[in-house]
Amino acid sequence: MPRRGTRRAEALRRAQEAKARRDIERAEREAFIEAALADYYQATAETERIRDTARRRADTLIAAGEQTAAESVAAARDAVRRLRDLLGGNAEVAQLCGITPAMVRTILATAPEPPGVAAPPGAPEEGSYPNGPESPGRA
């Protein structure tokens, strides 16, 4: 018959083995967590880099488009000015162009004045429409 001290020593040995297995499993789980977390941080950093690159490219394309469209915007303003001179009123120009009379006024206020005539105070900058860079026919 085993003595009480021997049974206690056997119980302690078995408890320590069980705890050691549990510690190993816990360490493996923590290593998996660490690897998954590192993958997450790496993937999100790559995502941000890709998006930043795309934004820079898009900004460059938009700037080039705005520069290219500037001549067309000026031509549209000149056409609206000529129409108003020919028709005598903003309402008629608006109806023919499919825009509002307020848009005609805005376009005319932003149009470069003939030499020697100053732009009205508070007129928007040249090259801008109130609804963005689109042509005056889109409202």
The answer to whether 83 touches 95, Cβ cutoff 8 Å, is: no
And the tokens for 70? Answer: 């500037």
- Phi then psi for residue 73, to 5 deg, are -65, -45
* Sites in the chain below the pLDDT cut of 50: 117-139
pLDDT at 16 (0 to 100): 96
For the stretch 26-55, pLDDT in tens is 999 999 999 999 999 999 999 999 999 999
pLDDT at 93 (0 to 100): 96
- Helices 4-87, 101-110: crossing angle, 10 deg rounding: 90
pLDDT at 99 (0 to 100): 96
Q: Whole-prediction pTM value?
A: 0.49
The 3-state DSSP class for residue 7 equals helix
And the tokens for 26? Answer: 């816990």
Distance CA 127, CA 135 (A): 11
pLDDT at 52 (0 to 100): 98
